[in-house]
Amino acid sequence: MKRIAVTLLLPLAVALGGCDEKMELGPDADALGHTAPTQATAKANAKVLDELPFSDRQDFEDAKRGLIASHPGLIIEDAYGGFVWNLPAYEFIDGEAPASVNPSLWRQANLNQMHGLFKVTDGIYQLRGFDLSNMTIIEGKTGWIIVDPLTAKETAAAAIAFARKHLDEKPIVAMIFTHSHIDHFAGVFGIMEAEEIARRKVRIIAPEGFMEEATSENVIAGMAMGRRAMFMFGRNLPRSQRGHVDSGLGISPSYGTLGIMEPTDIVDSTPQKMTIDGVRFVFQNAPGSEAPAELAFYLPKLKAFCGAEIISRNMHNLYTLRGAKVRDALKWSNYIDEEMRLFNDAEIYFASHHWPLWGKERIIEFLEKQRDTYKYIHDQTLRLANAGYTPREIAEEIELPESLRMSFPNRGYYGTVRHNSKAVYQGYLGWYDGNPANLNPLPPTEAGVRYVELMGGADKLLAQAELYFDKGEYRWVAEILSHLVFAEPGNTKAKALLARTYDQLGYQSESGPWRDVYLTAAYELRHGAPERGLDISIMLDVLRQTPLSRFFDSMAARLNGPDAEGTEMTVNMIFTDLHESYVLALENAVLHHYKTTPDPAANATIKLTRELFLRMAMGKAGIKDTLFSDDLQVEGSRIDLVRFFSLFDKPTGTFNIVTP
């Protein structure tokens, strides 16, 4: 089946194809061209061993505590011969860190590899290592309550089947979606199909705003986010010492079939008490924390606190590298502070990622440091901004105090101090740093040509870059070589040296996403951008729950303004199965949509079902063929309709990033 890329996607649902450009690989390169770590990289990574308390093994004790059974051979294939999940691919993560991996990230990867079914306490179990996130099982009076059914139908089905082999056989009576990110709800149909959920009246508990946020996130900017997610999660990298090692937040996203169910119960206040199958819950509603819609909860009888993803055993993102709205560091910190006061007698902590924590004093210390990490970044960014520092200067200046940075759960395995401080700046002051030179700079290619000319030409710039590379000044090498590559994209020597440079920056990165971004950049410099984007069919069940208005918002964002200039047109769309109608109005090169009665003066009227509309949106039904078929009814000018739909771009999600 051919994979069709369209504009509606969520960034964890990325599928890559091959690349169309090859570069000769050197003798020290692996199969995909990633070069050996240099002495400078080996030295930098060795230094990390002296800077952090690697002798502290408490995390390893916690991560393996309560193990009931593991599943080291877990492999789930997709319909195309690829992998939804491949745990054995990470068997290389063992022993001491190689020179090509930051030892701190290697430590986190080892911890995330401790997978299987775990007993957290009586009545609470976790499945870890089946996906990027955890699935938690809480034992109710008559059945199981599932918390966060993973990313994909396939991984969720494997996880719940594994649990049933080792726990008492019980029905599923409820599911809790802790927040609106896809790795915490989209595997729902691996637990139970929609029809059975409805028939058995399984309760679905989610935070206020869940459906709106879960179905709308990334729809309008989805193509750009999806492409950037290929970099952030290292989808096309080998799982190896020179490739993808770990995502920091977990092993890796899974790449399977996505679904969603509308909640039956909404958490919209704090504290909100609820009894689910005889188990008492106290919920915290935390919108605008790590996700736009998010909740945490406490189980008073068990003295167990679930921090969802508000708290995790790494520094999280205030800004995610795939691209998203900036998160509010101060609000996030305040939610953690609220949890410390609401649930101050908790003796067990568990969450949507990573491993649990036991002991009241340890939990309080952990929460304090998580709380203060986000607030420190927030406060110190603003202190420096108010003193006139720019985002890049602030990122270079800020360092967490020793009490925070020496704590492994605060390390930048996912988010980092550097890019989180820029997020705080952006949240308050936007992209402009106040320097007029940055108000209207030249675009990369034009700037690159002038930089190369100023430096005496490509050969001289390349010679200087090689000298700085030999000194281990990789950040500077990347900056000047990027100008050369954008000025001369066919310069193979420049691309080869820049790829080697990105290798070294990746090897030194403590952050899993930073490593994947650098190494993916190196990969694409050697092999070119991917040929294919997303197989949108894996998202059909999610798209069925997406409001029609979001599809029309996406259409408006794809309208080619220059081509549409001077065109005025009105199109009615009547959905016969929904008994709803929309008017699409094009004027001033802008598309508006209104849920209203059809406009009698419209150029054309289309009558169709929502399902056919989805097929068209997914590229499963061609616009021209469909308009002239019997699958829909058209009143008015079909020629105008063809002209109308021809004004919309059809992005593939395979655009270049590291080259023009």
Closest CA to 368 of 339, 402, 348, 328: 339
Q: Is residue 639 part of a domain?
A: yes
Q: How high is the pLDDT of residue 218?
A: 66
Please report the pLDDT score of residue 335 as a whole number: 98
Q: What integer is the mean pLDDT of 364-388?
A: 98
What is the model's pLDDT at position 7? 29
Residue 617 counted as domain residue:
yes
Pick from 183, 142, 174, 194: which is nearest to 351 by CA? 183
Model's pTM, two decimal places?
A: 0.94
**Residues 6+ positions from 281 with CB-CB distance below 8 Å:** 273, 274, 275, 297, 298, 299
Amino acid at 615: R
What's the confidence (pLDDT) of residue 629?
73
Place of tokens 């939990």: 363
What is the C-alpha separation between 617 and 625, in angstroms, rounded?
A: 14
pLDDT tens for 2-54 read: 222 232 334 444 433 334 445 556 668 888 899 999 999 999 999 999 999 99
pLDDT, one tens digit per residue, over 111-130 is 999 999 999 999 999 999 99
Does the pLDDT at position 330 exceed 80? yes
SS3 at position 424: helix
What local confidence, expressed as pLDDT, does residue 626 receive?
76
In order, the DSSP letters of 438-500 are GTSPPPHHHHHHHHHHHTTSHHHHHHHHHHHHHTT-HHHHHHHHHHHHHH-TT-HHHHHHHHH
pLDDT for residue 19? 42
Q: What is the pLDDT of residues 529-573, one digit of tens each?
A: 998 776 677 777 888 888 899 889 989 999 999 999 999 999 999
Q: Does any domain span residue 10?
A: no
Evaluate whether residue 571 is within a structural domain. Answer: yes
| Residue 589 domain-assigned (yes or no) | yes
Domain that holds residue 629: 547-645
Burial 246-271 (b: 16+ CB within 10 A, else e): bbbbbbbbbbbbbbbbebeebbeebe
Name the token pair of 56. 């502290």
CA pair distance 304, 124, nearest whole angstrom:
9
**171-213: per-residue pLDDT in tens?**
999 999 999 999 999 999 999 999 999 999 999 999 999 999 9
- Please report whether residue 626 resides in a domain: yes
**β-strand pairing of 590-595 with 580-587:** antiparallel
Tens digits of residue pLDDT in 282-309: 999 999 999 999 999 999 999 999 999 9
Domain count within the chain: 1
Look at residue 206 and tell me if it is in a domain: no
The three-state secondary structure class of 76 is: strand
| CATH number of the domain enclosing 607 | 3.30.1050.10
In a domain, 573, yes or no: yes
Separation CA 124–CA 72 (nearest Å): 22
Rounded to 5 degrees, what are φ and ψ at 28?
-95, 10
